Structure formats: C-alpha cells, structure tokens
C-alpha cells in the first residue's frame, strides 16, 4: 500500500491570501510551507482511491500524474474536503463515491451534475476497494453531527486517517483505531492554540501515544506554524507530496 499526501493544508491553504506571516512568505518563495487543501491518495497494485477531494484537486492530479481513480471516499461535508470533485468533469465519468448517507446527501446536492456512482456505507462496517479493506469510524468535528476517519488494511498493515476531529473521539473509535502502523493525524496548529474543531500538535501526539501508533504524521496544517523547515525540528509535519509505503 502506497500513501501520498496530495494536500496537507487547512481550509484556506498556505499561503493564505493576503497574509505575510513567515509560513506564508516561505510558501510564496517555494518552500515546503506551501500547502494545498486536504486530499490523500491510497494506492495498491489494483488501483487508486482518494480520501477526500479538496478544492486544489486538479493541480494535485496534474502534479502527481494521476489520470484515473477507482473510487473516492468522503469523510465529511466541508467544502475543503469535497469541492475539488468537480475537476473530474469531462475527465472521468461515473466515479464511485463512498461515505455516510448524510455526507453523501449534502455533497451530492452540490455536485449533482457529476452523476457519480453512489455507495452509502455505515460506520464500523468494512468494505473493500482495490484489494484493500476500508472502514469509516466516527470522530468529533462540530458542528457536523457525523464526521469520520478512515482505517485502511492491507494484510497485517494498518493505516489510520483521523479525518478532521478534535480530541473528543468516541471510545469505540479509539478501540478500532488501536495500533496503526501509520497514523495520519489532524493537527491544525501548535499547542498554544486551544481549538474546538481540530486537534493541536500536543493533542495529536497524545492520541498517537494512546493508540500505540508505530508512526504518526500530522496533516491539515495551517499557516500558524513556523516555516516548514523550522517546524519539523519540533513536530512531525507532513508536506504536499509526502509518500509512505506500508
């Protein structure tokens, strides 16, 4: 299983329009602080699945040479996680999409013109794509009533993607998330920020310890970090184009 972080930014991306903070200036100068909006590619010998389709998807697909996907999984109905799906228009028809019923109801009201192949799934119930096992689990991302993370299994290898969440993840989800080989974790800001919708880096590190994760990479990152080359001395931040193999 190959995992590529296509986009590691938060809802506004880095650089933020009109901002001259150190991270945004580094991004404008071509540094690794440049972060497009959230999307993750999961690839096997049998195909490719996208976890979320942020607004920068066209650029991401071109940058990483992706001309076809076998499915899309949406974790929740926030604009920065689904709006890029429209970039498949006149490129790929009838893309299979997966998610909770309420999530698909909301997103497909906006993206009705794409006419994807809809697949409603339930939390904690595995389904199979491209030779891999996928499971959605509930997280806590107010004010959305149901937001999910994703578990991906390839044999004895386990990937856990938290999706957007704060630290109040349900107990049953914590149980099924245990002992990942790789945890890709929401960590939108340094620990000086106390957030309602997302985790900060300290909370992400606490979650990784609670789950006994072998490795953790932080994503959904804001411009509130120092420039990337400085920030990674303190936190294990992902970056656009980062690859992991399990």
At 48 the pLDDT is 98
Sheet holding 216-219, edge to edge: 127-129, 132-139, 147-154, 157-161, 182-186, 216-219
pTM: 0.96
Rounded-to-integer distance, Cα 246 and Cα 229, Å = 25
Q: In which domain, by residue range, is 179 found?
A: 2-243
At 192 the pLDDT is 86
Rounded-to-integer distance, Cα 22 and Cα 24, Å = 6
pLDDT one digit per residue (tens) for the chain, 246 residues: 999 999 999 999 999 999 999 999 999 999 999 999 999 999 999 999 999 999 999 999 999 999 999 999 999 999 999 999 999 999 999 999 999 999 999 999 999 889 899 999 999 999 999 999 999 999 999 999 999 999 999 999 999 999 999 999 999 999 999 999 999 999 999 998 778 899 999 999 999 999 999 999 999 999 999 999 999 999 999 999 999 999
**What is the domain count for the chain?**
1
Bridge partners of 57?
A: none
Tens digits of per-residue pLDDT, 93-104?
999 999 999 999
Tens digits of per-residue pLDDT, 185-200?
999 999 987 788 999 9
Contact yes or no for 118/97 (Cβ under 8 A): yes
At 193 the pLDDT is 79
Q: In terms of DSSP bridges, do strands 242-245 and 182-186 run parallel, antiparallel, or are they unpaired?
A: unpaired
The CA distances from residue 157 to 45, 67, 71, 131, 167, in Å, are 15, 27, 21, 13, 25
CATH number of the domain encompassing residue 207: 3.60.15.10
């Amino acid at each position: 299983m190959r995992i590529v972080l296509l986009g590691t930014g938060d809802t506004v991306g880095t650089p933020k329009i009109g901002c001259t903070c150190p991270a945004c200036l580094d991004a404008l100068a071509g540094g690794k602080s440049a972060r497009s909006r959230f999307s993750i590619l999961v690839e096997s010998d049998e195909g490719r699945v996208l976890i979320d389709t942020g607004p920068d998807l066209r650029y991401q697909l071109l940058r990483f040479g992706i001309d076809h996907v076998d499915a899309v999984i949406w974790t929740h109905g926030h604009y920065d996680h689904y709006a890029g799906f429209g970039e498949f228009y006149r490129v790929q028809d009838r893309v299979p999409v997966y998610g909770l019923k309420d999530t698909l109801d909301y997103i497909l009201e906006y993206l009705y013109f794409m006419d994807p192949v809809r697949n409603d799934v339930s939390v904690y119930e595995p389904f199979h794509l491209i030779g891999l096992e996928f499971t959605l689990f509930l997280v806590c991302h107010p004010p959305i009533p149901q937001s999910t993370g994703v578990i991906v299994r390839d044999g004895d290898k386990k990937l856990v993607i938290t999706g957007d969440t704060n630290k109040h993840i349900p107990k049953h989800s914590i149980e099924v998330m245990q002992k990942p080989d790789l945890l890709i974790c929401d960590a939108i800001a340094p620990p000086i920020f106390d957030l309602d919708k997302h985790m900060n880096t300290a909370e992400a590190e606490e979650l990784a310890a609670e789950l006994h994760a072998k490795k953790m990479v932080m994503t959904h990152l804001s411009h509130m970090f120092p420039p990337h080359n400085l920030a990674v001395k303190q936190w294990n931040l992902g970056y656009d184009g980062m690859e992991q193999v399990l």
